[in-house]
Amino acid sequence: MNRLLQTLILLLLAILAGVITDSFHETTVAAGDSAPDFSITADNGRTITPLNFGGKLLVLNFWATWCLPCVEEIPSLSGFQRRFARAGVVVVGISDDNDEASYRAFLARTPVSFRTAHDPEGKVKKKYGTLRIPETYIIDRRGKVLRKIVGSQNWMTDQVIRDVETLLMRGS
């Protein structure tokens, strides 16, 4: 009986060690990687996946209303979406706000010209290994991550505009 109990304890310890090791394994998506597959319903009711943009360049931005750099980035990201919408660029902002009422109130008073989605559990963010926000991924029509931008930026600078125009010319 003692031998069986020892074997059972060792087996449980091995399983526990595997679970702990797996929980520390962090998925981090970088430029050159395939974009993790996900599906989320946007606030306009449409389903968003990395590949359902009909050959367009997807700019996937993780943000939250309580994140000051995220909020400061919204006007330039909105301007960026307006500038490149006809050129085949789609901006999607995924918020991980826990409080849906605050999230909805923020969107009601803040002009946002790009698609938004609410993901309070952070399921999509976890698939990308995003720990800090804002974080943005530029994904081509084949689902390959072309750029990863950690932190806020001004999306209307000459450098960003030239970079995206180059990506569009290459057919990314």
CATH of the domain at 73: 3.40.30.10
Domain for residue 72, yes or no? yes
Asked if residues 45 and 89 have their Cβ atoms less than 8 Å apart, the reply is no
| pLDDT score recorded for residue 24 | 46
Domain for residue 1, yes or no? no
Lowest mean pLDDT among 9-18, 31-40, 113-122: 9-18
Domain for residue 86, yes or no? yes
Pair of tokens at residue 105: 């109130």
Domains of the chain: total: 1
| pLDDT score recorded for residue 25 | 45
Domain for residue 135, yes or no? yes
- Tell which wins on pLDDT, 76 or 29: 76
From residue 47, alpha-carbon distances to 25, 52, 75 in Å are 29, 8, 24
Domain for residue 15, yes or no? no
Amino acid at residue number 71: V
Q: Which domain holds residue 128?
A: 28-169
Residues 43-75: tens digit of each pLDDT: 999 898 877 776 789 999 999 999 999 999 999
| pLDDT score recorded for residue 8 | 72
**pLDDT band with cut points at 50, 70 and 90 for residue 141:** confident
Domain for residue 50, yes or no? yes
Residue 95 has pLDDT above 80, yes or no: yes
| pLDDT score recorded for residue 18 | 61
Q: What does the pLDDT average to over 3-30?
A: 68
> How crowded is the C-beta side of 93, counted as CA atoms within 13 Å?
25
Domain for residue 43, yes or no? yes
Domain for residue 104, yes or no? yes
Residues 105-140: tens digit of each pLDDT: 999 999 999 999 999 999 999 999 998 899 999 999
